[in-house]
Amino acid sequence: MSTVPNIDLNDGARIPQLGFGVYQIDPDETAAAVKTALDIGYRHIDTAEMYGNEAGVGQGIRDAGLARGDVFITSKLNNGFHEPDAARKAFDETLSKLGFDAPEDDYVDLFLIHWPLPTKYGGDFVSTWKALEGFKADGRARSIGVSNFQVPHLERLAAETDTVPAVNQIEVHPYFVNEAVRAYGAQHGIVTEAWSPIAQGQVLDDQVVEGIAKATGKSPAQVVLRWHIQRGDVIFPKSVTPQRIQDNFDIFDFELSPDDVDALTELDKGADGRTGPNPDTFDMIPD
Ligand SMILES: NC(=O)c1ccc[n+]([C@@H]2O[C@H](COP(=O)([O-])OP(=O)(O)OC[C@H]3O[C@@H](n4cnc5c(N)ncnc54)[C@H](OP(=O)(O)O)[C@@H]3O)[C@@H](O)[C@H]2O)c1
């Protein structure tokens, strides 16, 4: 079985570098997909209030016969709940949906502000962050972080609050390397989590990726996931296909050369390479 490294967070906690993402997994299929991943050996699940499948995550862990403490769980605050009272209520619901009722199990390992929404709430994500500081203080979120924060958003938190985010979960893959935000994180002790690590499949038929796959005897997805691992980012590829879930886990028995890592990094297309929205303008509040 592969051994997944742990990465140290700035608050003393540790996070498995490889996890399983459940964005766009049907709520009714989430428990089965999560159980498949856990049976293979994953011990880190990335969900969000917005995905509507937190209950399936908790169920999948119980179905796999694992204890709450065996699995690192991340969830994220939905965009409609940035006001502190709403954030507190939403966080209570996250814990309730995960369904670990014993007081010692009633926590998330990591809770994030999903999007900064700088054009909403009068641009105030600072009071939202202070609500998350409360979740950490009362022990129900072991670590807190942000997602899709740009450098000015991180600078504002640094200037106006006491807690440096443990992670910033941002879009990163070979077509969008997002280097300035990663570099800020590296300089300030914020671990980068790379979402859509294979660009939802879009990078897999790239000739450079295919060439390295052929030379290493690995699949294109394994090559790209390995690139992230060697760059030190945390990843959680999503799949509902059992063989792919297995393949995405089997990335610790080979190494890319520095030239291969560089060749993949050079595929960057800048902002044109994004698969998701630009955090500076994204303002979607779900119904
Ligand atoms: N914070 C944010 O704003 C944000 C945004 C997006 C994503 N995320 C997180 O990041 C996770 C991963 O991102 P993502 O789900 O957008 O995209 P992704 O993991 O880059 O790609 C998932 C897609 O690739 C396919 N796939 C997976 N493994 C494959 C393999 N080995 N070979 C070929 N195809 C493969 C999947 O298909 P099948 O499922 O059909 O197998 C699915 O269509 C999410 O689940 C979520 O946890 C966070």
Confidence of residue 1 (pLDDT cuts 50, 70, 90): low
Q: Hey, what are 41's tokens?
A: 């050996």
For residue range 92-127, what is the model confidence (pLDDT) as tens digits?
999 999 999 999 999 999 999 999 999 999 999 999
Confidence of residue 139 (pLDDT cuts 50, 70, 90): very high
In 3D, which of 181, 229, 173, 178 has the Cα closest to residue 201?
173
For residue range 32-64, what is the model confidence (pLDDT) as tens digits?
999 999 999 999 999 999 999 999 999 999 999
Note the pLDDT of residue 2.
Answer: 63
CA of 127 to the centre of ligand 1 (A): 31
For residue range 215-255, what is the model confidence (pLDDT) as tens digits?
999 999 999 999 999 999 999 999 999 999 999 999 999 99
CA-CA distance, 82 to 126, in Å (whole number)? 9
* Mean pLDDT (the chain, rounded): 98
Confidence of residue 179 (pLDDT cuts 50, 70, 90): very high
For residue range 7-22, what is the model confidence (pLDDT) as tens digits?
999 999 999 999 999 9
Confidence of residue 205 (pLDDT cuts 50, 70, 90): very high
Confidence of residue 164 (pLDDT cuts 50, 70, 90): very high
Average pLDDT over residues 71-83: 98
CB 129 within 8 A of CB 163: yes
CA of 23, closest atom in ligand 1: 45
Residue 192's identity, in one-letter code, is T
Burial of 63 (0-12, 13-18, 19+ CB in 10 A): middle
- Which percentage of the chain shows pLDDT scores above 90? 98
In 3D, which of 142, 144, 141, 168 has the Cα closest to residue 155?
168
Centroid of chain to Cα 54 = 14
CA-CA distance, 150 to 14, in Å (whole number)? 24
CA of 222, closest atom in ligand 1: 31
Q: Catalytic residues, which ones?
A: 51
CA-CA distance, 171 to 278, in Å (whole number)? 10
Confidence of residue 171 (pLDDT cuts 50, 70, 90): very high
Residue nearest to atom 16 of ligand 1 (CA): 196
3-state SS, the chain, equals CCCCCEEECCCCCEEECECEECCCCCHHHHHHHHHHHHHHCCCEEECCHHHCCHHHHHHHHHHCCCCHHHCEEEEEECHHHCCHHHHHHHHHHHHHHHCCCCHHHCCEEEEEECCCCCCCHHHCCHHHHHHHHHHHHCCCEEEEEEECCCHHHHHHHHHHCCCCCCEEEEECECCECCHHHHHHHHHHCCEEEEECCCHHHCCCCCHHHHHHHHHHCCCHHHHHHHHHHHHCCEECCCCCCHHHHHHHHCCCCCCCCHHHHHHHHCCCCHHHHCCCCCCCCCCCCCC
Note the pLDDT of residue 287.
Answer: 84
Which residues form the pocket of ligand 1, taking CB atoms under 6 Å from any ligand atom? 21-24, 46, 114, 147-148, 169, 195-201, 204, 221, 236-241, 244, 247-248, 276
